[in-house]
Amino acid sequence: IILVRLYLMIIKSSYLTLNWTDKLLLWYSENKRSFIWRTTKEPYHIWISEVILQQTRTSQGLPYYKIFLKAFPLLSDLATADENEVLKLWQGLGYYSRARNLHATAKYIHFECAGIFPSSFDELIKLKGVGDYTASAIASICYDIPEAVVDGNVYRFLARYFGIDTPINSSPAHKLFKAKAMDLIDRQKPGDFNQALMEFGAIQCTPKSPSCKDCPFSIKCVAFNQDKIATLPFKIKKAKIKKRHFNYLVISDKKNRYLIEQRTQKGIWQKLYQFPLLESDQEINNTNSLINHHNFPSIQALSESEIILWNSEPILHKLSHQILWVNFWILPTNESFKEGLSLKQLESLPVPVIIQNFMKIFFSFAP
């Protein structure tokens, strides 16, 4: 116990003599987590990891990272893959535009850039789906270019330490925080600095219950010393959440083939597949209201008594700015669909997670 206390005293005293940036790098060397993407500087691998980890927890993203690199070990493998295959592997991660942009950019680098990954910040930020954050991460980690990253963890740490009350979801925020991080960045180790900055926000300066008592920055932290931890970073109130009612029509023919459609319109789940969708202004909970809806499809040989509401209560599905109330209606028919798909064919298509969960249960009892 005495030796441990002595060690902690030595560490604490060593922090006191360091400047802000060196203090952060020392903390990182002692506390960083071990991730597979931290063992490489291969830009293709770093790019994949950064895109997956946007809007995704690390624990959730790690399995997808491994699956993607197993399926597409080289950029050329991703570039020449079918888009449905890419979306299928992405299934469950959400924000599917990330996967579509990932695929489009891989094709661009492979076919237009001779497979050579861009090596400058200005070239990287021009890529589809690559913004300032991703370009900065790849540039600093892979090419030692001093470009500071700014993400949610960085906003939180810097806002609290420096007492910055500019709303982080306002227009001036990114420029302000980017400039602050650029002032602090270690130009000899920009990759380590950026990862340290994000790691500190992820495991030390957390959104709730940050570890302030053993924080090497607490002495001069504005939020800690002025009791502003709960109020920083500051955010403008979110826009009103949109509420929608989805009615999926699970229509089958006499050979147990199902009608399926692809979402082509912009918005959630673009290019994913689904059962025919009837969206309503209010919840539909009875057969009569369903078939009298103006968008209900014309289906022959189907009586009202054959339509079954699969779930007893609407399934609540929350997205970032939307809440969906979902019903699945089972509609067996005696028709023969020319474009109907078998269960095996359905399972190969990328679908929203709400439909994936339904299929797991419903088709486990299917003939």
- Nearest CA to 156 out of 94, 100, 214, 209 is that of 209
3 state DSSP class of 104: helix
Q: Decide if 50 is catalytic.
A: yes
- Nearest CA to 207 out of 157, 278, 171 is that of 157
Retrieve residue 285's tokens.
């909970």
- Nearest CA to 15 out of 3, 4, 7, 27 is that of 27
Q: Please check whether residue 191 is in contact with residue 141, taking contact to mean a CB–CB distance below 8 angstroms.
A: yes
Retrieve residue 63's tokens.
């399995």
> What span, in angstroms and rounded, lies between the C-alpha atoms of 114 and 116?
6
Q: Is 236 exposed, middle or buried (0-12, 13-18, 19+ CB in 10 A)?
A: exposed
Query: 44 φ, ψ to 5°?
Result: -60, -45
Phi-psi region of 255 (alpha: psi -120 to 50; beta: other; left: phi over 0): alpha
> Which of these is catalytic: 30, 50, 283, 306?
50
- Crossing angle of helices 152-162 and 171-184, in 10° steps, is 80
> What span, in angstroms and rounded, lies between the C-alpha atoms of 219 and 203?
19
Residue that the structure tokens 């597409």 belong to: 72
Catalytic residues: 50
